[in-house]
Amino acid sequence: MNAVIYLDNAATTPVDPRVVEAMFECLGPAGDYANPAAVAHAPGRHAQQRVERARAEVAALVGADPAQVLWTSGATEADNLALLGAARFYQTRGRHLVTSRTEHPAVLAACRQLEREGFEVTYLKPGAEGIVEPGQVEGALRTGTIIVSLMHVNNEIGVVQDIGSVGRLCRARGILFHVDAAQSAGKLPIDVERDCIDLLVLTAHKLHGPKGVGALCVRREPRLGLVPLLHGGGQERGLRPGTVATHQVVGMGAACRIAAEEGSEECSRIAELRERLWRGLVPLAGVTLNGHPTQRAPGILSVTIDGVEGESLLYALPELAVASGSACATTSSEPSYVLRALGRSDRLAQSSLRLSLGRYTTAGDIEQAVAAIRAAVERLRGVAPPVAAA
């Protein structure tokens, strides 16, 4: 049996072997396995040093000070801590937030929770190419707006938002700016100072690190307040209590360091492969690119393929690991809310594929993927009835 070609790197990435090696060094009886908070003994201090080195590696990737980095279990927890924690802390200043309709569910669900607590949320509608213009954000701000939340790269369609412009307009008005950078960290330049980001969310498993660990970078000057979600020991300045998982954060640190060292060259290569993939699919008539043609991340290609049903298309592509434009389960076939927000009909949203490339994607993978998709589309279109006359 041929190996499956993995083109679902926006969902998660394989862990880089160099990251695995660093993590192993923190697990076994000969490694740095001790509790990093147990600084009264040498093994604890060794573990603490590993944790702090990792914190510095994460911070360096995004232009932050290591003291700004809080460990979390991933982006979902970090988004929740950022939004719920900051909104609850600053609610005496105002109870209004601004975000977009195409944010990750971690952000949208946190906003819904805040609405249940009496906050108001404005959900901006992006343009047909998935971009939220800074002017839209500016127009939504009002007295009582305390937070703007905008993802850097959309996880479904790969478009890149102009976070620098939005950050500067928020900073000028004293409004907190939260950015979910789960899909962009290590792939696009991010600088929390330059981009005026107060709360930045990162996750390891999207950049060839382990699952189960993420980080929230919190502005320190002036110090930003957060109400913690969890209560326990005083780890992470009391904002995220719980024993720090040394091997996980060391893995995240290694992944960030590798991304910082190799990301630029790697992303050029991946962007070229993505373009080759797109050019390979264009000859299939009825193929539409979802999202802005140039303002996009290197590794994500979302396409709508007219004339095929999404679930059948995925079924017909067992040699590919890709994502569809719907939940695509037997109990749910809800079309993607992101694609619907861009104006795609339910049917077209369900006839969409997200192909996301990563560090281990090769030119050969792309050639095989193009051939497989072409064959599957032609077969399914051949079985479909001719379109009925209007």
What interhelical angle do 363-383 and 246-281 show, nearest 10?
60
Strand partners, 353: 303, 324
Contact status: 92 vs another protein (CB under 8 A): no
Question: How many residues in the shown chain lie near another protein by CB under 8 A?
Answer: 23
Q: Out of 111, 217, 256, 328, pick the active-site residue.
A: 328
Tokens of 280: 């390979």
Tokens of 33: 């396995």
Pattern 259-298, binding to another protein, x per CB under 8 A? Answer: ----------------------------------------
Distance CA 324, CA 302 (A): 9
Among 42, 318, 362, 378, binds another protein (CB under 8 A): 318
Among 3, 383, 389, 390, binds another protein (CB under 8 A): 383
Query: Whole-number minimum distance, CB 388 to another protein, in Å?
Result: 7
- What DSSP line would sit under 259-295, residue for residue? HHHHHHHHHHHHHHHHHHHHHHHTTSTTEEE-S-SSS
**Residue 164 in 3-state DSSP?**
helix
In this structure, are strands 199-203 and 176-180 parallel, antiparallel, or unpaired?
A: parallel
Among 3, 30, 40, 387, binds another protein (CB under 8 A): 387
Question: Which helix (H) or strand (E) segment is 312 a member of?
Answer: helix 310-315
Query: Whole-number minimum distance, CB 378 to another protein, in Å?
Result: 13
Nearest to another protein of 24, 315 (CB atom): 315
Contact status: 389 vs another protein (CB under 8 A): no
Cis before residue 222, ω within 30 degrees of 0?
Answer: yes
Query: Quick check: 68 and 221 in contact, CB under 8 A?
Result: no
196 as an active site residue: the answer is no
Query: Whole-number minimum distance, CB 314 to another protein, in Å?
Result: 8
In our burial notation (b when 16+ CB lie closer than 10 A, e otherwise), range 226-256 reads: bebeeeeeebbeebbbeebbbbbbbbbbbbb
Contact status: 25 vs another protein (CB under 8 A): no
Query: Whole-number minimum distance, CB 340 to another protein, in Å?
Result: 14
Query: Quick check: 84 and 96 in contact, CB under 8 A?
Result: no
Nearest to another protein of 120, 309 (CB atom): 309
Among 65, 129, 311, 367, binds another protein (CB under 8 A): 311
Select the span of 9-17, 78-86, 259-267, 310-318 touching another protein (CB under 8 A).
Answer: 310-318
Q: List binders of another protein among 325-354 (CB under 8 A).
A: 329-333, 345-347, 350
Query: Whole-number minimum distance, CB 302 to another protein, in Å?
Result: 20
Nearest to another protein of 76, 336 (CB atom): 336
Nearest to another protein of 125, 347 (CB atom): 347
Among 312, 337, 340, 372, binds another protein (CB under 8 A): 312
173 burial level (CB within 10 Å; 0-12, 13-18, 19+): exposed
Q: Which residues contribute to the site for another protein (CB under 8 A)?
A: 307, 309, 311-312, 315-316, 318, 329-333, 345-347, 350, 382-388
> Which residues are part of the catalytic machinery?
328
